[in-house]
């Protein structure tokens, strides 16, 4: 099955010009799964306190516009832009912090975090060229030399010493559009719980997820993957007691903050915060 990110439509609309039909490609040739596209994503900056900190207002990313399901991390997804907007709007919250992004994909959110945070660890699975492309994109945009790339698989039960140390000293965990099959969602939630148990008890987790709808066999409009994610959040995370002294709190955040990147911020986009509260 070939899957295309919704950003493919956004990028098409954004690049429409007088030469729309002047192409050297045969029909369908530019939709190949094997093609890498390089895009420059510019963002606005109206807050002088943010502008003075940033070294650039452009993120250059290599990515694909369609892939198989197991390689969706090679595409750009709207959840990454929503998280990037959230970071830029909350620069004071990220300034000086140690950040880890889970399932970083092509790295857009990690790169934006790196413009403000103390350091960022961008992680993903080592499957085909996901990790190598992430590393390449980070190298292109690592203006402050504070972003590292590492392998991290939600299906792991144990972590290396170096990864454990990164988790223990982290302040903020990020993840965008990681919900696409139940098995991944289940182990993602397990991973979040493991991370919250390690080190800094003031960790904050921010997750951007798009509620992708589809028609059921009976004709009803449903969002099965989002529903399963929502169920796991509240059954396996929310109010879970950690070390008999604290509990996990899950809350949905409003997404009415300013938009810095150009993309379609659809109402199906959701943003979640997870943190620990002392009993």
pLDDT(201) > 90: no
Do 205 and 134 contact (CB within 8 A), yes or no? no
Gap between the Cα atoms of 20 and 43, Å rounded = 24
Q: What are phi and psi of 197, to 5 degrees?
A: -80, -15
Do 172 and 141 contact (CB within 8 A), yes or no? no
Do 117 and 97 contact (CB within 8 A), yes or no? yes
Q: How confident is the model at residue 125 (pLDDT cuts 50, 70, 90)?
A: very high
* Structure-token pair, residue 107: 């790295």
Gap between the Cα atoms of 168 and 181, Å rounded = 28
Do 7 and 75 contact (CB within 8 A), yes or no? yes
Lookup result for tokens 């509240």: 234
- Please tell me the pTM assigned to this model: 0.89
Lookup result for tokens 């493991």: 194
Q: How confident is the model at residue 22 (pLDDT cuts 50, 70, 90)?
A: very low
Gap between the Cα atoms of 151 and 135, Å rounded = 11
Strands 221-222 and 214-215: antiparallel
> Poorest-confidence range of 146-155, 182-191, 217-226?
217-226
What is the tally of helices (H) and strands (E) in the chain? 9, 14
DSSP category for residue 100 = E
- The conformational region for residue 96 under phi > 0 = left, psi -120 to 50 = alpha, else beta, is left
DSSP category for residue 29 = G
Gap between the Cα atoms of 196 and 167, Å rounded = 9
Q: Identify the CA nearest to 250 among candidates 185, 193, 167.
A: 193
Q: Which residues pair with 37 in a beta bridge?
A: 63
Gap between the Cα atoms of 104 and 34, Å rounded = 20
Tens of pLDDT, residue by residue over 63-107, are: 999 999 889 999 999 999 999 999 999 999 999 999 999 999 999
Q: How confident is the model at residue 128 (pLDDT cuts 50, 70, 90)?
A: very high
Angle at CA of residue 161, ends 209 and 105, nearest 5°: 25
């Amino acid at each position: 099955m070939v899957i295309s990110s919704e950003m493919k439509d956004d990028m098409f609309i954004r690049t429409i010009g007088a030469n729309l039909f002047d192409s050297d490609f045969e029909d369908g040739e530019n939709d190949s799964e094997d093609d890498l596209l390089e895009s420059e994503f510019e963002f606005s900056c109206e807050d002088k306190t943010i502008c003075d900190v940033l070294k650039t207002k452009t993120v250059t990313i290599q990515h694909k516009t369609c892939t198989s399901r197991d390689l969706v991390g090679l595409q750009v997804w709207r959840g990454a832009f929503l998280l990037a907007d959230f970071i830029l709007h909350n620069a004071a919250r990220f300034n000086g912090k140690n950040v880890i992004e889970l399932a970083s994909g092509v790295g857009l959110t990690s790169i934006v975090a790196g413009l403000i945070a103390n350091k960022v660890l961008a992680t993903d699975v080592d499957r085909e060229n996901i990790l190598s492309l992430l590393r390449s994109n980070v190298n292109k945009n690592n203006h402050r030399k504070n972003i590292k790339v590492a392998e991290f698989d939600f299906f792991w039960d144990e972590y290396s010493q170096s990864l454990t140390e990164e988790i223990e000293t982290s302040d903020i965990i990020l993840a965008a559009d990681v919900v696409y099959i139940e098995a991944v969602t289940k182990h993602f939630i397990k991973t979040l719980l493991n991370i919250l148990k390690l080190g800094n008890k003031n960790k904050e987790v921010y997750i951007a997820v798009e509620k992708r709808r589809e028609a059921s066999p009976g004709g009803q409009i449903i969002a099965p993957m989002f529903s399963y994610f929502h169920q796991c959040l509240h059954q396996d995370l929310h109010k879970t007691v950690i070390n008999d002294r604290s509990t996990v709190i899950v809350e949905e955040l409003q997404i009415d903050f300013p938009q810095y990147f150009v993309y379609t911020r659809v109402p199906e986009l959701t943003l979640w915060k997870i943190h620990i509260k002392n009993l």
